[in-house]
Structure 1
């Protein structure tokens, strides 16, 4: 992903320093054939090397050119490992690969053999020192390049940027943020792994890899990118498995971001050199064939990549390389006019986020106010770094660096977080990995390398301590919102088989339906995130079943960030009974509260949809107080429900009201929780 700006040098050094062995026939009189083969390999490599440099100079991808050059240079290296210029060129090839760490020994050796073998050696030698963490020496090498290269002014912005990166990295390493970064070894291979997107509950992870996949390898024996999925079990990720079906093709398929409910996947695909954004949906057990997004996003006149959903699902944020912009990719967004038609409006640039260099992968946090962006721009420790921006009154703030060790002098990009704010997953080619880009887990907070136990309502951007260009600043102030993952499965109460059902979630305080969705047709699973500090009602309905309702509170600032439900649906048959958990009365009274209307209206709809249905509405209390008074109260409450239904057009002859008082408990009255369960209104089918 990272390409270093340079120019091609075709002349061999004429002077010999230290033990530099030049490619001269006089140096290899005893092996003329080997010498000729090595020189031919260098000439072949130089052609690709030139093309790679031309692309990099134009802030474009060099493609496989440096890899093809490296293949030729390595042949010559076996014949003569002590040529300064050849070591330099091999180092440059590695510096423009995902395995940048490999450039360090070659560039150091080139400098040792002949520090003047190429006008750009000081620049690349500085880069090798920067990767090696010797920031002070790296700055001196960059200065040496600026002072020695005649056309250094043409590259002054790059030299200035590298020196600035060294200063920022020096400060960042001296003041690390409170986070642990660990290589997730079970996900990684010697090939590239990147594009992590984790489900909000942290149980599944989508990633991209160019590991062997059975497709036709390229000229270098490498493979195209495919999208994989892994599941977390007992703290370990399963071996990634390529997603079955049409998601993966013979082209490069790169995961971008999952939707927050895990039912949609944004990805980009490269076909005939054109990169566009696609979307696939999870239907039952299968992902659908990816569809290219509207032309306002996937334009035929540009390349688009690295897309993210907005929190409300109405917008897409993505990268585009503007043909009129020489600085590479920038961040854009496009909003829908209709979710049904998916008609996106013209894309807009976000000027407050874009820098003079490449922008990379984007992740919009589910709070809707925080965006994480990878960028090569000012403020980076080197290569791509992950930055955070917050939306203040509709405007995205200037991005701030998340700091070390999340970011390093290598490429650090992609960012995907769990809903609880404890963990995030990133990709990096930092030193010490399995090879190329690897997936890393970021654990926030805590003083020891143990699972975090701190309150989970902290957003990631407020936990870490972002850094400015040359010094450590105070933490970026981000509003702290608490989110809870509500997940589960809908099943038949008797067969225990999955049931596809529609779930409606209501904010009981406002009475507003905040979400309606359908559970997976093959598994019955669902997942959604809810803001804390509210009381929610859920209603579940499926054809041929009684609707199911529940009510639960998520306290503000709650650390209980996961609600996991197995929802059992009962067939519409005589004797089937459900508790109406979202019917509310004031203590000791039988007047229905307004928060009950949504639940009661669902009951009205059921009675109208099944016109032969006859029911008993029963009221129940706990055993606190007088049994006689409790029986009367429960009778009055049951009659209040029947009265509501009658006013809505349901014949009174189809309903009976019965108050049982404390005489039909479903839990022990010895505990507060048991007493709460016993205070209920029930609905039982008596005829159909």
Structure 2
């Protein structure tokens, strides 16, 4: 087992993640500022807990040694600046200790933690809720998840509502857990948590340490902080991705640096449909005891560079048309410069996007490929080189090998070659170049009679044409021609001088198919 300090040293040596973390200097004070919750239609409002001088309670928190905390609210303007924090009001903020909070999905009900001083050394914490009324909140009421007596100082707090409002997860030291504080949950019945019996979230999440400050992302992923797992500091942020089933989650994963640090990092809150949010940390360099930090994951930046050249001469082809067709059917065409180059950057190629690329130059056989940023985790320049062959009528063009068994017109498929796949090269070529008409030429080896070989080669050419027809290529764009043994690549004399093991391979080279372009003005049915 890696000890905590050793593990932290290993983690800090790892490359940073792409997250950008910044202190929220306009909101932080020299006191405790923690547990941010982002809410509002435009996600431009937030509440957080603070022990700053303007908080209501005058008693001292036995844990922090600071004054009791209140919940404060701030609003973001059009320029992204947060307003001066103000207490939520006396229906929520009292002489007691108010902290960690969340809203239901429509933002009309606030759930928060309130702790009362039991005897000067212990706090009894419960979850309360209050309905929004105008710009404020109505009277707050306890959920009553614990039936406590006057000597019971059980801690029940840090509420987090699932995106569908059906489950309330919270942190508690209730009996029957796995450690100090565990994550527990209750399920709503007819829209209410009243009378619900807390259930432990289980050993896949909870440890022998403390699990606290749970939060849901809008996709159902669960986040929380714990000191019971190996991480960077004593309290680290973890996540478990949602899975099918009731409160089913994947294996927990620690969040990367700089979200986590060698200090305490906890109470994360995401903006809806965004990789931005806030969390709390007491890391080195802060303003107060605990501070609020913002985080964002900048978008990956992708560039696409195309270099278009003549296949035979290597000369750049200016004026080439490069068309990118998206999965949604949208298409954008671009033109190469005098050097045969095209560069697309500045957000034109986005994350998790796939394009069919088509490259066309007048008088050349068009080509293309598939371009995708799916699965890429780093900013990348996607460079492609396209070599286009000039159209020369009746010139024999090479293509991927199409071979046949001895004496057969069937396509050869074995461990070394798949002639059906080879013909897909022609399918793609003819689909990209709808003006071409080709002649498919099949050849045999010299074994067997000349007449029989002539017929066999014609059958082989027609096999190829039928394959292309089945792939949707019109039959009047293809002419099958069999040449028999009239044009051997390897003569019988050359074959006879080869080692026995190589002779069959030479005969197989003679059993081949090539194509010629015989017209490039096909228009089809107009």
TM-score (normalizing by structure 1): 0.40
Task: State the match for 2:162 in structure 1.
Answer: 310
Q: Is the 8 A contact 2:267 2:280 kept in 1?
A: yes
Higher strand share: 2
Distance (Å, rounded) in 1 between the aligned partners of 2:50 and 2:271: 21
Distance (Å, rounded) in 2 between the aligned partners of 1:270 and 1:168: 33
Task: State the match for 1:423 in structure 2.
Answer: 276
Task: State the match for 2:173 in structure 1.
Answer: 321
Task: State the match for 1:466 in structure 2.
Answer: none
Distance (Å, rounded) in 1 between the aligned partners of 2:147 and 2:265: 25
Distance (Å, rounded) in 2 between the aligned partners of 1:181 and 1:400: 19
Structure 2 SS opposite 1:405: coil
Higher helix share: 1
Task: State the match for 2:139 in structure 1.
Answer: 289
2:238 to 384, 387, 405: 387
Give the 3 Å change call, closer, same or farther, for CA 432–301 of structure 1 in structure 2.
closer
TM-score (normalizing by structure 2): 0.52
Distance (Å, rounded) in 2 between the aligned partners of 1:387 and 1:346: 22
Give the 3 Å change call, closer, same or farther, for CA 387–346 of structure 1 in structure 2.
closer
1:359 to 185, 208, 211: 211
- Describe how 1:87-126 pairs up with structure 2 within 5 A: none
**Unaligned runs of at least 5 residues, structure 1:** 1-159, 459-474, 478-688
Structure 2 SS opposite 1:171: helix
Task: State the match for 1:240 in structure 2.
Answer: 85
Distance (Å, rounded) in 2 between the aligned partners of 1:214 and 1:404: 32
Structure 2 SS opposite 1:260: coil
1:217 deviates by: 3.7
1:288 deviates by: 1.6
Distance (Å, rounded) in 2 between the aligned partners of 1:210 and 1:340: 31
**Unaligned runs of at least 5 residues, structure 2:** 302-345, 354-374, 378-526
Distance (Å, rounded) in 2 between the aligned partners of 1:218 and 1:341: 31
Task: State the match for 1:678 in structure 2.
Answer: none
Structure whose CA Rg is larger:
2
Structure 2 SS opposite 1:166: helix
2:224 to 352, 360, 373: 373
The answer on 1:206 being equivalent to 2:47 is yes
1:180 deviates by: 0.3
The answer on 1:277 being equivalent to 2:127 is yes
Give the 3 Å change call, closer, same or farther, for CA 336–404 of structure 1 in structure 2.
same
Distance (Å, rounded) in 2 between the aligned partners of 1:456 and 1:209: 38
Give the 3 Å change call, closer, same or farther, for CA 373–326 of structure 1 in structure 2.
closer
The answer on 1:400 being equivalent to 2:241 is no
Distance (Å, rounded) in 2 between the aligned partners of 1:321 and 1:261: 30
Give the 3 Å change call, closer, same or farther, for CA 341–235 of structure 1 in structure 2.
closer
1:291 deviates by: 1.2
Distance (Å, rounded) in 1 between the aligned partners of 2:352 and 2:29: 34
Structure 2 SS opposite 1:167: helix
Give the 3 Å change call, closer, same or farther, for CA 376–408 of structure 1 in structure 2.
same
Structure 2 SS opposite 1:333: strand
Cα distance per residue 1:645-680 (max 9 Å; x no partner):
xxxxxxxxxxxxxxxxxxxxxxxxxxxxxxxxxxxx
Distance (Å, rounded) in 2 between the aligned partners of 1:372 and 1:341: 22
Give the 3 Å change call, closer, same or farther, for CA 374–341 of structure 1 in structure 2.
closer
Q: Is the 8 A contact 1:182 1:441 kept in 2?
A: yes
Structure 2 SS opposite 1:424: strand
The answer on 1:170 being equivalent to 2:10 is yes
Give the 3 Å change call, closer, same or farther, for CA 365–297 of structure 1 in structure 2.
farther
Distance (Å, rounded) in 2 between the aligned partners of 1:255 and 1:351: 24
Distance (Å, rounded) in 1 between the aligned partners of 2:95 and 2:271: 31
Distance (Å, rounded) in 2 between the aligned partners of 1:456 and 1:243: 40
1:421 deviates by: 1.4
Q: Is the 8 A contact 2:179 2:206 kept in 1?
A: no
Distance (Å, rounded) in 1 between the aligned partners of 2:181 and 2:16: 29
1:399 deviates by: 1.1
1:379 deviates by: 2.8
Distance (Å, rounded) in 2 between the aligned partners of 1:332 and 1:290: 22
Task: State the match for 2:73 in structure 1.
Answer: 229
1:445 deviates by: 2.9
Structure 2 SS opposite 1:185: coil
1:438 to 274, 291, 295: 291
1:315 deviates by: 1.1
1:346 deviates by: 4.0
1:244 deviates by: 1.4
Distance (Å, rounded) in 2 between the aligned partners of 1:366 and 1:327: 28
Task: State the match for 2:32 in structure 1.
Answer: 192
1:347 deviates by: 2.5
Distance (Å, rounded) in 1 between the aligned partners of 2:21 and 2:174: 34
Task: State the match for 2:362 in structure 1.
Answer: none
Task: State the match for 2:464 in structure 1.
Answer: none
Task: State the match for 1:410 in structure 2.
Answer: 263
Structure 1 SS opposite 2:10: helix
CA root-mean-square deviation:
3.0
